[in-house]
Amino acid sequence: MKRGKKARTVKQDDDQKLWRRSLDPVEVWDSDQEWEVGEIVDVWDDPMDPKRASRKYKVSWIDWQREDGSNTTWMSEQECQDSLPNILKAWKSKYSQGKAKLPPLPESHQTSLFHLDLEETLLNIHYVPLTTPATSTSRKRKTPPSRVVDDDDDELDIIDMAAPSPPRAATPPQPAVRMRKSVRAVSASTQSSRAVSEELPTQYDSPSPPRPAHPVPSSSGSPYKRPRIPPINTTPARRPSIASTSTPSSSRTLVNPVSAPSSSHQGKSRGKGQSKVTIMNDWDTGEASVITVLNEVDDEEGPPLPEWFKYLEAKYLRDDETTIDSSFFAACDGSTGRCTNPDACDCQSDSTLKNDVGERIVAYDRQRRYTFPAPGGALVIECNEACECEPDTCVNRVAQRPRDVALQIFKTADANARAAQRGWGVRVTERLQRGQVIGLYTGELMCVVLCFLCLRGDLRLIVVACRPRVKAHRLKAPQKHYVFDIDFNENAEQDDDMSEKWSVLSYNCGNWSRFLNHSCDPNVRLYPVLFDHPQIPKLAFVAAKDITPFDELVIDYLDAAGVRTAALKRERLKRPKDSTACLCGAGPAKCRRWFPG
C-alpha cells in the first residue's frame, strides 16, 4: 500500500465554524446633539479580566431610542465616572454593596459557561464564546411601555432590506446602522421572531471595546447628557434562544418555475399559479446544484430552522481537528484504469465490497452509479486527495463530487390529513436512476474531544470533555429528530464502546438532507463512504430505485440508525418506547408503524 507522498496539512475550513464574529455595526451620531441619561440598567464584566478593569455599564437614554425600540448603550467605567458620576455612585451603592441583587437571569438565557451542565449542554459549548456577556445582556430590563414600538413597525432597520422600514415620527435622529445580513431573518419578522428579537440582546446591546474616555457632556438641560462621541458598539457572538426559528432568509423568489403538478398536492393549497419557488441563495452550496423551497400547502414561508442554522453542503462541523495529515490516507498511483479494479487500486485494498458471487468490486459502475454491493451497507473507500488518479475520470470518486441533483424542499401534504404532520420534505425535480448518488449527510460530528476554558470565579480550568454518541442519543426533541449514526458495522449498535462511534446532528447546521422524511418503503438508501478523512466516513444518499420528478425522497430511519440488515430490522419490530408513530403511508404490508426518534 502506497502512502501519500508529501505530508499535507489541511487547515480547518473557516466555513466550518458555526460562529463567526460579524462586522461591528456603527452608529453615527449628530455630535452637537445631547440626550438625557436615564439610568444604569446593567453591568458586564469580562470573564477573562478578574480585576474588572474592563467593566462596562449599560445606560438607558430618556429621549433617544433606536428604531428597534432599544435605548441603551454601553459605557466604560471611566466614561461613566466622567459623564455620570452621581448615577454611577448611586448604582454602585445599590448593587455593589450587596443591598440589592441584579434581577435573576431568565431561564432561557442561562447559557453562559458558568451555568453549563456538562452532561446536558456539551453540545452547545462551542457556540458560547468565552467573552460573550451573556449574563449581562440577558439581564436587560424590559423596554418601558412607551418605548415599545407597535407590531407593524417592529423591524430592525437593516440596509439591504427589500422594503424600507416606514418613517417614524418624533424620534431623535436615528443612527445610521450597518448590520450583518444574517439578522434579516429576524427582521423579516413573524410574531414569534419579533418576540425573540425583543427578548434577546440586539446587536447594539453589547459592550463597547476599551476606548479612550469621552469628553464630559455639556451641562445644559438635564444633569446627565450623552457624551458627544458615543461609544462604538461591537457585536459579540450570541446564541439565540433555542426555541426560535426563522424562515429562509436571503433567498430569491421566483414564481413557480419548478413546482410539482398541482394534482400531486392535496389539502390547503394556495391555488394554481400562486405558489412561489424560492431559491436558497444564502445556503452556500458551492458547486452543487440549486436548492429551491416551495410551499403549496399553507402560508409557512419556508421550513423552520434555528435562527443560527448554518448550511454545510458536504462537510461536517468538527472542531477537534485542525489538521489531517494525508500520510494517514492510503493512496493509489493512478495508473490508467487501475481504480476500476479493487485489487489494483491501493485505496481499495481494505475494501470489503463484493458482488453476489464473492468477487471484490468497485462500489460504482462506469456511469458513476452505486452498485449496491452489500446489503448491509459496507464501507466504500473512494480515492482521495493523496491519490494520483485523475479526479474527473476516476470511477472510484463519486460521493465526493459536487451534488449534481437539483433538489426541492417542500411542505408535505398527503391524502391523509395526519400525514401533513410530516412537515417539510425533500423531492427531486428531475428523474433519477437507481444507483444515482444524490448527496451527503452533513451536520455536527458528535464524537469529538472538546477542550475549553471554564471559568469559575478567578479560577481558570481547562476542561476536556468528550461528546460521544451516547450524548447524541440522549438529546431531547427537537434535536433528537436530527441525529444520524454513521456506523458501517452492521452490529455496531451492539458494541459497548459507544464513544468510538460517530453520530451527526443536523439540527444546528447541515444541509437539505435534514429534511428527508422517513418511509418504511424508502426510495433512497444510505451508505458510508470514506474519502476526506482516513477514519470518519460520510453518509451518502443514493436512489434505491428509479425516481420520477417530484417524488418525495424518503429514507428508512432504521438505516440511519445503523440497523440495515433485514434480520436486525425484524428484531426491532417491537416498537421502542421513544419511537414516533409513522405516517409514511407505505401501506399495512410494509409500514412498521413507527420509526426511531
Q: With binding defined as CB under 6 A, does residue 593 bind ligand SAM?
A: no
The 3-state DSSP class for residue 192 equals helix
Q: How far is the CB of 246 from ligand SAM (least distance, A)?
A: 13
Q: Which of 372, 512, 495, 509 lies closest to 439, judged by CA?
A: 512
Q: How far is the CB of 260 from ligand SAM (least distance, A)?
A: 17
Q: How far is the CB of 473 from ligand SAM (least distance, A)?
A: 15
Of the pair 457, 587, the CB lying nearest ligand SAM is at 587
d(CA 53, CA 44): 11
Q: How far is the CB of 553 from ligand SAM (least distance, A)?
A: 11
**Binding range to ligand SAM, per CB under 6 A, among 332-340, 395-403, 438-446, 582-590:** 582-590
Residues 463-502 that bind ligand SAM (CB under 6 A): 481-482
Of the pair 193, 517, the CB lying nearest ligand SAM is at 517
Beta pairing, strands 509-510 & 310-311: parallel
Reading the block at residue 537, the C-alpha cell is 466516513
Of the pair 445, 584, the CB lying nearest ligand SAM is at 584
Q: Which of 517, 527, 540, 547 binds ligand SAM (CB under 6 A)?
A: 517
Residue 535 CB: number of other CB atoms within 10 A?
Answer: 8
Placement of cell 418525495 in the chain: 552
Of the pair 379, 509, the CB lying nearest ligand SAM is at 509
Residue number of the CB closest to ligand SAM reads: 423
What values do phi and psi take at 253, rounded to 5? Answer: -105, 130
Of the pair 16, 579, the CB lying nearest ligand SAM is at 579
d(CA 202, CA 235): 9
Size of the site for ligand SAM (CB under 6 A): 18
Q: Are 591 and 584 in contact (CB under 8 A)?
A: yes
- Where is 526: in which H helix or E strand? strand 524-530
Q: Are 312 and 291 in contact (CB under 8 A)?
A: no
Of the pair 337, 478, the CB lying nearest ligand SAM is at 478
Q: How far is the CB of 539 from ligand SAM (least distance, A)?
A: 13
Of the pair 88, 409, the CB lying nearest ligand SAM is at 409
Reading the block at residue 187, the C-alpha cell is 427582521
Q: With binding defined as CB under 6 A, does residue 584 bind ligand SAM?
A: yes
Placement of cell 474527473 in the chain: 392
Of the pair 137, 519, the CB lying nearest ligand SAM is at 519
Is the previous residue joined to 478 through a cis bond, with omega within 30 degrees of 0?
Answer: yes
**Binding range to ligand SAM, per CB under 6 A, among 269-277, 419-427, 466-474, 487-495:** 419-427
Q: With binding defined as CB under 6 A, does residue 424 bind ligand SAM?
A: yes
Reading the block at residue 424, the C-alpha cell is 417539510
Q: Which of 397, 422, 471, 564 binds ligand SAM (CB under 6 A)?
A: 422
Q: Which of 515, 527, 541, 550 binds ligand SAM (CB under 6 A)?
A: 515
d(CA 466, CA 448): 6
Residue 38 CB: number of other CB atoms within 10 A?
Answer: 18
Q: How far is the CB of 181 from ligand SAM (least distance, A)?
A: 24
Q: With binding defined as CB under 6 A, does residue 514 bind ligand SAM?
A: yes
d(CA 391, CA 42): 58
Q: Which of 403, 469, 518, 538 binds ligand SAM (CB under 6 A)?
A: 518
> E-strand spans in 326-446?
330-331, 380-381, 407-411, 424-428, 437-441, 443-445
Burial tier of 585 (Cβ tally within 10 Å: 0-12, 13-18, 19+) = middle
Q: How far is the CB of 597 from ligand SAM (least distance, A)?
A: 5
Of the pair 165, 580, the CB lying nearest ligand SAM is at 580
DSSP letters, 212-261, are PPPPPPP-SSSS-B--SSPPPP--------TT-EE---S-EEEESTTPPP
Beta pairing, strands 72-76 & 310-311: unpaired
Q: Which of 47, 342, 528, 597 binds ligand SAM (CB under 6 A)?
A: 597
Of the pair 136, 506, the CB lying nearest ligand SAM is at 506
Residue 11 CB: number of other CB atoms within 10 A?
Answer: 8
Torsion 314-12-485-385 (CA) sign: positive
Q: How far is the CB of 341 from ligand SAM (least distance, A)?
A: 38
**Binding range to ligand SAM, per CB under 6 A, among 112-120, 254-262, 318-326, 516-524:** 516-524
Q: With binding defined as CB under 6 A, does residue 423 bind ligand SAM?
A: yes
The 3-state DSSP class for residue 36 equals strand
**Binding range to ligand SAM, per CB under 6 A, among 67-75, 184-192, 209-217, 416-424:** 416-424
Of the pair 36, 521, the CB lying nearest ligand SAM is at 521
Q: Which of 384, 561, 554 lies closest to 4, judged by CA?
A: 384
Q: With binding defined as CB under 6 A, does residue 579 bind ligand SAM?
A: no
The b/e string for 114-143 (b: 16+ C-beta within 10 A; e otherwise) is eebeeeeebbebbbbeeebbbbbbbbbeeb
Of the pair 300, 359, the CB lying nearest ligand SAM is at 300
The 3-state DSSP class for residue 489 equals coil
- If you count DSSP H runs as helices and E runs as strands, how many of each does the chain have, helices first? 9, 28
What is the x/- site pattern for ligand SAM, positions 182-221, by CB under 6 A? ----------------------------------------
Q: Which of 303, 306, 435, 439 binds ligand SAM (CB under 6 A)?
A: 303
Q: How far is the CB of 584 from ligand SAM (least distance, A)?
A: 4
Q: With binding defined as CB under 6 A, does residue 397 bind ligand SAM?
A: no
Of the pair 133, 306, the CB lying nearest ligand SAM is at 306
Give residues in contact with ligand SAM (CB under 6 A): 303, 421-425, 481-482, 514-515, 517-519, 580, 582-584, 597
